[in-house]
Amino acid sequence: MHPDDEEEFEQEVLAEEGVVLVDGPIWTSDSPAKLNSLDRIGNYCIIWSALDRPSLSAQYKGGEWHCDSEMATIQFLRSRIHGDLLTEGSLSISTDPATQTESRRIEKRFHSYFMHMKSNYWNSAVCWYSLTPFLPAAPGRSANPGMPDSNVWVGPHALRWLRADKHRRVRQHSSFGAYAVLGEDVQRLISGSLPTPDLS
């Protein structure tokens, strides 16, 4: 997500009564601050509703409180812009230890977020590649660059940001991992005519 995509997603999330944001799984007390803006949250955002579980619990370790009830929440790893790179974010749940009622509510909310993205975002828009030589698929080796990734959903603002400057890329992390370009730019990437990103 581009920051403007995040802002619109925040509005979608907080439109539901009782839903709050928590700044990551490590806290300064046994009860997290309940926030209503991503402005006060780092890379890792917990989306929590007291309707799913009235309170979140944590264990005290090494001078910090570590959340041990994330199974009752949705985990949102935020994207970041670093120069020409937009890092890949993610939205996930892991409800195995949660009660059946909690799981049902959380999965319903997660599905509603996914449907929002499916209606407003594009998948199969980017192709991943590594800086090794560009080669077709072969036994024991996938193609580089790969096929358009149907599991990556690109927000409208992120799509415009990528198209506005051909130096720009998506990357799994700001300092490591594969890169991705828009599928429409793959042939230019292979031919060497696509500008390279500034990685400084």
User: How high is the pLDDT of residue 91?
Assistant: 93
* Prediction pTM value: 0.89
Q: Is the pLDDT of residue 199 over 80?
A: no
130-158 pLDDT tens trace:
988 899 999 988 999 999 999 999 999 99
* DSSP β-ladder status, 85-87 and 169-171: parallel
What's the CA gap between 103 and 129, in Å, rounded?
36
User: How high is the pLDDT of residue 130?
Assistant: 93
74-115 pLDDT tens trace:
999 999 999 999 999 999 988 777 778 888 889 999 999 999
Read off φ and ψ for residue 146, nearest 5 degrees. Answer: -85, 180
18-45 pLDDT tens trace:
999 999 999 999 999 999 999 999 999 9
What's the CA gap between 77 and 118, in Å, rounded?
18
User: How high is the pLDDT of residue 22?
Assistant: 96
Other Cβ atoms less than 10 A from the Cβ of 74: the count is 23
Confidence of residue 16 (pLDDT cuts 50, 70, 90): very high
